[in-house]
Amino acid sequence: MYFIAVGTDVRPEEFGPFMAEEAAVLAELRAEGTVKSVFKRVAGGGVYTIVEAATPDEARRQLGRLPLVREGMLAFALTEVVEL
């Protein structure tokens, strides 16, 4: 299953200390094939992420590995999509 995960910045002013770990975990998720693409919004904060997972719960669990999600600074809303 594929999902578009819309990430909303909750406390962006606190991101700094977590960015190195965030980049490392994101690289792991990409290498594992869970995260296919990530796009940062040009206007305002937040990200759009393409995720592949067996279920919505699995997608949430995998995204929950990200430090910004774990620390409550980034929240995702998932929408299942199909490839055309």
pLDDT 10s digits, 8-52: 888 878 888 999 999 999 999 999 999 999 999 998 889 999 999
pLDDT at residue 83 is higher than 90: no
CA dist 74 to 55, 60, 62, Å? Answer: 20, 12, 14
Q: With the CA atoms of 68, 62, 53 and 19 taken in that order, what torsion angle do they form, in degrees rounded to the nearest 10?
A: 40
Residue ranges of alpha helices (H) inside 1-84 are: 19-31, 56-63, 67-70
- For residue 6, what pLDDT is reported? 97
Question: pLDDT band at 71, cuts 50/70/90?
Answer: very high
Domains, the chain, in order of start with CATH, read 2-81 (3.30.70.1060)
CA distance 56 to 81: 11
Longest dimension (CA), the chain: 39
Overall pTM > 0.75: yes
